A and B are shown apart, each in its own frame.
Chain A
């Protein structure tokens, strides 16, 4: 097969066509330059744009921007456009347009003029623009073209429920700073506080936003001191823990905006309330190139309007500001006596939930409502606070019957519509059925009769009163009375006393030998006295026996040893050993013999002998030395 062409041949044909075709030419060789401002009248706090347009700048051309002390340049941007134009037959033309956009701000007031810009190029010399006149006034001058830019706004979807409690027609960007003035010093990094509205009613929320605007690298915000918010009840809405940048154009100048704090303020009294400046220590740069700077924000003021006096509903509480809806559950309830009903009141809406005062649930006689369990759930959406409060009432029926809980009304002031409103619930019907199986029915009771009475009494579950009373004073128990302890201790003390007395007696009897001898001698004398009773009796043996016992006992008491069973010799010997003198020993022995004789010798115990024995015994005892 023969090849009809090659890639090399095709490339050669294309090159020839390209060379043969007419080349595009530069449409205009002579450069042009012009400048214009987007506003003719500005304020000293406003920025405006100066646009310098250079058409077909020659290579190597140098542009000299307008230099003046009357204005400062906040930022500048440069862009280049290239276009290809086909005009009539023949080759087209390439057009190059270089555009400079300067964001400027006037430094003083008056009829000022921005000097011309100059373009110098080799071969063409220097060409200039016209000067641009600008009238500068103090402060802020409204931009007539500002409204047109935002006319119409974004299209929104229809929301039949309006996303209660937080409507969706609130643009989240509304809360973000729009007209933030750029400070004349520290314009690269500044702290700015804004309020989302200039005036509010007492109790209506105003949101304080604190941003830091930066055109430099921001490392961290080390400390942040918020102003004292006197005259407000305030609550944090947003307090980011990490810096998060958003791109913002402020007066035509691109900035990174960092939200530091967003706080909801609820003014508590009317008037103009001043808010001081926040302060922050900020570290810029990174690592070793970091630099710490201090920035102070701006002061703010808020006009607080009093609540209108007209149209204030009865029962209105000054804390009920916002838009609130009240609902109740359940609508109806059927319970048995003794079983509780839980009635739930729910308030939901926008505003300061903490200051909201919900009127209590009223119950008719026959029902008892206990203190509710209150649950608050705070909500916030796009910086607006609100929430839901739930009050759960435990209602305990006291009687049978059908009861209607009247509607609960919550009057509030709607600051959005600037009028008072009342949200109310539907009435709740509670049907309490009669006695349960736990309570026996009264004999003869007719079902359904006597509603509203004491059912417990009717069913005789409640025992009747007592009709006789034994009144009793609440007295102290017996053991707490004064006599109890002495009465309990007295017998113990008596017993101990008796024991002690016996012990003392025993101790007393445990005397020394001399005392014992004296006691025995005394006993002997007593025995001798008993012998005297027998002196005239018919039994001389008994008399002499008593005398002998008395003498023996006396001797034992005095001598300290027993004399019973001793012979006369032994007795004499022992008495001698005891130191008894001989005459007394003889006296004893003679008396003992005399007694033996009287006891055992027939006819020996006559009256004279008795008298003599008694006398001898008495003399012996009395004359015996103590």
Chain B
């Protein structure tokens, strides 16, 4: 464990593409470009920051907002959703995301209006906090159990109470952590980037077009076949689209 921690610490000290000062300068320059309505330059700056490891909720939010101002719905929804995942629900992210969705061409009929329960849990909680809390409580519970036989009889009641509380506390922490694990590993979602993307019944070019999706629509990614990916809309409609037309969240 110690060696793993050391390795993580060493990796985190690897030299970055930008120094913190350079990243800050680029961030500010991009903000200035946005203020001048030079959206292309602003977008380029924010994208560079994300590509070189200086992302985070703030940069992603600015990138999404810039894309939205440019009319790039696909890029806007993608960046804002990523900002949401990176920083949780925040008012400005939700507002711009709602604005982007209002401008989408696709109006999914018959679908659920909000995310699945586990996704909402994951969005409302912090993954590192849940994981660390689980790890601490779990360790405390088992350490107490291990020390139980060495504890004199008068203190054993307190040890039992500590152990029970630690186990009880680790259960919801484990649940929240599992929600994050499920969202990350099982809930594969993407945002349509192409202006118009036909969804076919079969994963081939000549396949019959079942429906069409447009930029900015958030879809579930189910499976891949060649250069096609099977998507599912919130209302259950499924079809195969070109993978290049959808960016994974």
Contact = CB atoms under 8 A, between A and B. Distances in A.
Report if A and B associate in a common complex.
Answer: yes
Interface of A: 338, 340, 368, 370-371, 394, 396, 398, 438, 453-454, 456-457, 461-474, 477-479, 481-484, 486-488, 490-492, 494-495, 497-499, 502
Nearest to A472: B56
Given A469-B56, A491-B146, A477 B8 contact: no
A188 B139 CA distance: 104
Contacts of A490: 1, 139
B57 interface: yes
Contacts of A481: 4, 8
Contact of A487 (B24, B66, B127, B139): B139
Interface of B: 1, 4-5, 7-8, 20, 23-24, 27-28, 31, 34, 37, 49, 53-59, 61-62, 65-66, 68-69, 71, 86, 91-92, 95-96, 99, 102-103, 105, 127-128, 131-132, 135, 138-143, 145-147, 149, 177, 180-181, 184, 195-196, 214
Contacts of A398: 71
A478 B134 CA distance: 11
Contacts of A474: 53, 55, 86
- The list of the 5 closest CB pairs from A to B, nearest first, reads A491-B142, A478-B131, A472-B56, A482-B4, A469-B58
Nearest to B103: A338
B1 A486 contact: yes
B127 A465 contact: no
19 contacts: A340-B105, A454-B69, A462-B68, A466-B92, A469-B24, A471-B27, A471-B54, A471-B55, A479-B131, A479-B177, A483-B5, A484-B135, A486-B1, A488-B138, A490-B139, A492-B142, A494-B143, A497-B146, A498-B149
Contact of B128 (A461, A473, A477): A477
B180 A477 contact: yes
Contacts of A487: 1, 135, 139
A624 B160 CA distance: 49
A457 B8 contact: no
Contact of B184 (A368, A464, A477, A495): A477
Given A473-B55, A484-B131, A456 B62 contact: no
Given A462-B96, A491-B139, A491-B142, 10 more contacts: A371-B195, A371-B196, A394-B105, A396-B105, A466-B62, A474-B55, A479-B181, A482-B4, A488-B138, A491-B146
| Residues of B contacting A: mostly | helix
Contact of A462 (B99, B145, B181): B99
A554 B164 CA distance: 46
Given A463-B92, A478-B131, A495-B145, A438 B102 contact: yes
A457 B61 CA distance: 15
Contact of B65 (A462, A467, A468): A462
A35 to B, nearest CB: 70
Contacts, number: 135
Contacts of B56: 469-472
Contacts of A469: 24, 27, 54, 56, 58-59, 62
A502 B69 CA distance: 69
Given A394-B105, A456-B99, A498-B146, A471 B65 contact: no
Nearest to B150: A498
A454 B56 CA distance: 26
Contacts of B7: 482
A153 to B, nearest CB: 49
Given A438-B102, A472-B56, A463 B143 contact: no
Nearest to B140: A491
Contact of A477 (B49, B68, B131): B131
Contacts of B139: 487-488, 490-491
A454 B127 CA distance: 37
Contact of A463 (B66, B71, B95): B95
B65 A465 contact: yes
A469 B58 CA distance: 5
Contacts of B132: 478
B3 to A, nearest CB: 8
Given A471-B56, A482-B7, A494 B184 contact: no
B182 to A, nearest CB: 11
Contacts of B31: 465, 467
B184 to A, nearest CB: 6
B88 to A, nearest CB: 13
Contacts of B66: 465
A491 B62 contact: no
A491 B105 contact: no
Contacts of A495: 142-143, 145-146
Nearest to A372: B196
Contacts of B147: 498
Contacts of B65: 462-465
B25 to A, nearest CB: 11
Contacts of B128: 477-478
Contacts of A491: 138-143, 146
Contacts of A467: 28, 31
A308 B31 CA distance: 58
Given A479-B131, A484-B135, A488-B138, A465 B102 contact: no
A499 B23 CA distance: 54
A486 B5 CA distance: 11
A394 to B, nearest CB: 7
B79 to A, nearest CB: 12
B2 to A, nearest CB: 8
Contacts of A483: 1, 4-5, 8
B4 to A, nearest CB: 4
A315 B149 CA distance: 92
Contacts of A479: 131, 177, 180-181
A471 B69 contact: no
Contacts of B23: 471
B37 A453 contact: yes
Nearest to A467: B31
Contact of A456 (B20, B69, B141, B146): B69
A473 B53 contact: yes
A472 B27 CA distance: 13
Nearest to A474: B55
A461 B177 contact: no
Contacts of A466: 58, 61-62, 92
A491 B147 CA distance: 11
A457 B62 CA distance: 13
B149 A494 contact: no
Nearest to B195: A370
A203 B99 CA distance: 51
A465 B34 contact: yes
A469 B22 CA distance: 13
B59 to A, nearest CB: 5
A7 to B, nearest CB: 89
Nearest to B131: A478
Contacts of A497: 146
Nearest to A473: B53
A491 to B, nearest CB: 3
A497 B142 CA distance: 11
